[in-house]
Amino acid sequence: MAEHQGGAFPRIRMRRNRRDDWSRRLMREARVTVDDLIWPVFVKETDVAEEEIASMPGVFRYSISRLVEAAGEAAALGIPALAIFPVIDPSLKTPGGDEAANPNNLICRAVKAVKKAHPDLGIICDVALDPFTSHGQDGILRDGYVVNDESVEMLVKQSLVQAAAGCDVIAPSDMMDGRVGAIRDALDSHGHEAVRILSYAAKYASAYYGPFRDAVGSATNLGGGDKRTYQMDPANGDEALREVALDLQEGADMVMVKPGLPYLDIVHRVKTEFRVPTYVYQVSGEYAMLRGAGDRGWLDWERVIMESLLCFKRAGADGILTYAAVEVARMLKDSGA
Ligand code: PBG
């Protein structure tokens, strides 16, 4: 910065470049486009087309046929991909989460229906047992502890049925050790070498997932339980880099940081360190906060949601999972962006 010595105020005026819209546009470093958006959606076995989630205003549990329609709207707006989450009927939940490996389960049927109607829309499926277990944990419980290797075996089976149903991206969200490598090997040996893996590499044991657990109904199953023996401690940053390194070594094509805004430092560190496709999940609790304040008139919803997404881009994210994807895509379209 030596060349700037003696060039401080009043010669340098940072406000010059901010003065007009045209120069602000020219200076702009980060940008949100529809290509950055992944839309998480919930699907339920029901005749009711849609059911709003109380703690997530504007977000719905869709029937399969309504989901197909909604997916079409998203595709027409240019949203590249959907992440589909199943709301499993309580009668199908078991301690082992066996329904997860049923090739004809709700998520597989939803994937098939959406793929058939919209073959060019990317479909991402979570791999974790929590929607399917009677205890609401992401893996198999033995003496109150979520066991690793046995859970991974089940996650592999879950991945295979989802891939066979036509899912493009398998997204392990369970934080079991060795899951990415095990899933990669299984996909490859079953002719699914084109199926990508987006690992929730740095997933924290966060209280921001509350509304999601209401949405899929796992909160009741989980009771007072938490996921701290497998999800990461919110205090740790270096550990996230180690998790990402391991998942990449095991064959992850893309990695994710979750939650989003409170973990922006992690997004930045991951992108800076590894230079790989890095995604961020603006989780249910983040959505609920902004949306709730917006609905009460305490915040300008449209502006805060756009600002939050821009901040993810500035931090280095290549894409964002957000429940507001469709609304944001509409806003971008209306603004001619
Ligand atoms: C399941 C899963 C969760 C989320 C995505 N996949 C919940 C959890 O880990 O308890 C959270 C998403 C959100 O809060 O929006 N493993």
- Domain assignment present for residue 5? The answer is no
Pocket of ligand 1 (CB under 6 A): 126, 128, 130, 138, 173-174, 209, 212-213, 227, 283-284
Task: Decide if 44 is catalytic.
Answer: no
pTM here is 0.96
- Taking only the tens place, the pLDDT of each residue in 61-77 is 999 999 999 999 999 99
- Domain assignment present for residue 220? The answer is yes
- Domain assignment present for residue 22? The answer is no
Residue 314 has pLDDT above 60, yes or no: yes
- Taking only the tens place, the pLDDT of each residue in 125-184 is 999 999 999 999 999 999 999 999 999 999 999 999 999 999 999 999 999 999 999 999
For residue 286, give the CATH number of its domain: 3.20.20.70
Pairing type for strands 81-87 and 122-127 reads parallel
Domain that holds residue 157: 31-334
- Domain assignment present for residue 218? The answer is yes
- Domain assignment present for residue 16? The answer is no
Sequence-separated (6 or more) residues with CB below 8 Å from residue 299 = 290, 293
> What confidence score (pLDDT) does residue 335 get?
93
Residue of 327, 276, 319 lying closest to 80 (CA atoms): 319
Tell how far the Cα of 258 is from the centroid of ligand 1, in angstroms.
9
Residue 122 has pLDDT above 90, yes or no: yes
Tell how far the Cα of 136 is from the centroid of ligand 1, in angstroms.
11
Strands, E assignment, 21-168: 37-44, 50-53, 56-62, 81-87, 122-127, 140-142, 145-147
- Taking only the tens place, the pLDDT of each residue in 20-72 is 999 999 999 999 999 999 999 999 999 999 999 999 999 999 999 999 999 99
Q: Which residues are registered as beta bridge partners of 145?
A: 142
Instruction: Return the number of other C-beta atoms located less than 10 Å from residue 215's C-beta.
Output: 26
Residue 3 has pLDDT above 80, yes or no: no
- Domain assignment present for residue 24? The answer is no
Query: Measuring CA to CA, how many Å separate 264 from each of 205, 213, 245, 321?
Result: 16, 23, 18, 14
Instruction: For residue 118, count CB atoms less than 10 angstroms from its CB and return exposed for 0-12, middle for 13-18, buried for 19 or more.
Output: middle
- Domain assignment present for residue 191? The answer is yes
Task: Decide if 333 is catalytic.
Answer: no
- Domain assignment present for residue 171? The answer is yes
Mean pLDDT across the chain? 96
Instruction: Quote the number of domains for the chain.
Output: 1
